[in-house]
Amino acid sequence: MTLSLRPDPRSAADAGTEPASRFPLQPFEHLDTLWLEVGGSLCNLSCTHCFVSSGPGDLRHPLMSRALVRQRVAEALELGVREFYFTGGEPFMNPELIDMLADTIVFAPCTVLTNGVLLTSERVAALAGLSESSRHSLEIRVSLDGPDSASHDAFRGPGSFARAIDGMVRLARAGLLPIATATLNTGEDSLVVRERYDSMLREAGIPRPRIKLLPMFRLGREAARTGGYSAEDTLRDLPAEGFDPTRLQCRSCRAVTALGVHVCPLLVDEPLGRMGDRLIDAAAPYPLRHGACFTCYVTGMTCANG
């Protein structure tokens, strides 16, 4: 399968020009987590920091079909997968999302990562029905980039904060306990940032806020905005004795798009991040050559809920 991806500005460390042997080799333990990029690169917003540069009309990564998602879920269950994440782009841009969730949550817990602006009453009612009828957890994660409209809308466009909060309130009223996923800038006190979001969400009418803080990844449109990773932001030549493979989520996750299987959800636009056509092809070690690998390693972060 040939990939035709729009090039993004990258640092030398991300260009993949250096031999893989210069980078730590991340072992693959087991497929705990499968990311399903059901929305492809299609999104209703054009956020200035989007690490996969998604936007309206963008079909570099096409929408995944319900049949393809079923096939990937079946492959993953064969491997003993623990949980599925539905993402994009914006997953609610895929008209089959609710059906895909219904197909999948019978077998395993599901999480949806959304910008929150398409959470209509009808969709929220359907999600609540799925959640109540399954023994597995259904998590809805809504991305926020600030605890107020000024900071959030600066990244995501006018009105997006109010619509995302409206969506979260609908979810909370339906008993779904949404998780606010917020980006954390370097140097910020995580406890202070957390309390800021907590107060805002309570005042908005969400009585039991759940908050997950993530670092900013200098990929995609965010790389164009801030200059991306520098040559120093790399795990190149990290001594083997100093390498701790448990710090990285790619020891136990893979991501699938309509175009194939990728090492992780952050690197679906990297040609070297694509590992094959089938999940079993991707159950292999991976050289940590990208700037994003550096961020994951240094922060010890995971895109997953826990």
To 5 degrees, how large is the angle CA 166–CA 302–CA 187? Answer: 80
Question: What is the Cα–Cα distance from 34 to 76, expressed in whole angstroms?
Answer: 7
Smallest separation, CB 240 to other proteins (Å): 22
User: Which residue lies nearer to other proteins by CB, 146 or 220?
Assistant: 146
User: Which residue lies nearer to other proteins by CB, 44 or 111?
Assistant: 111
Smallest separation, CB 298 to other proteins (Å): 15
Within its chain, how far is the Cα of 217 from the centroid? 11
Smallest separation, CB 46 to other proteins (Å): 30
State which amino acid sits at residue 213. Answer: L
User: Which residue lies nearer to other proteins by CB, 97 or 179?
Assistant: 179
Smallest separation, CB 197 to other proteins (Å): 11
User: Which residue lies nearer to other proteins by CB, 149 or 299?
Assistant: 299
Distances from the Cα of 156 to the Cα of 42, 186, 222, 230, angstroms: 15, 20, 12, 25
- Contact call for residues 239 and 190 (beta carbons, < 8 A): no
Q: What is the DSSP letter of 42?
A: B
Q: Is 239 exposed, middle or buried (0-12, 13-18, 19+ CB in 10 A)?
A: exposed
Tokens coding 15:
């260009």
User: Which residue lies nearer to other proteins by CB, 38 or 76?
Assistant: 76
User: Which residue lies nearer to other proteins by CB, 57 or 208?
Assistant: 208
- Contact call for residues 23 and 294 (beta carbons, < 8 A): no
User: Which residue lies nearer to other proteins by CB, 16 or 109?
Assistant: 109
User: Which residue lies nearer to other proteins by CB, 19 or 80?
Assistant: 80
- Binding residues for other proteins (CB under 8 A): 29-30, 32, 77-83, 107-109, 131, 135-139, 175-177, 190-191, 194, 208, 210-213, 302, 305-306
- Compute the residue count for the chain: 306
Burial 149-183 (b: 16+ CB within 10 A, else e): beebbebbbeebbebbbbbbbbbbebebbbbbbbb
Distances from the Cα of 286 to the Cα of 24, 50, 92, 181, angstroms: 8, 24, 31, 27
Tokens coding 212:
């997950």
User: Which residue lies nearer to other proteins by CB, 141 or 289?
Assistant: 141
Smallest separation, CB 165 to other proteins (Å): 19
Smallest separation, CB 82 to other proteins (Å): 4
Q: What is the dihedral of CA 80, 86, 89, 93, to 10 degrees?
A: 140
Smallest separation, CB 79 to other proteins (Å): 7
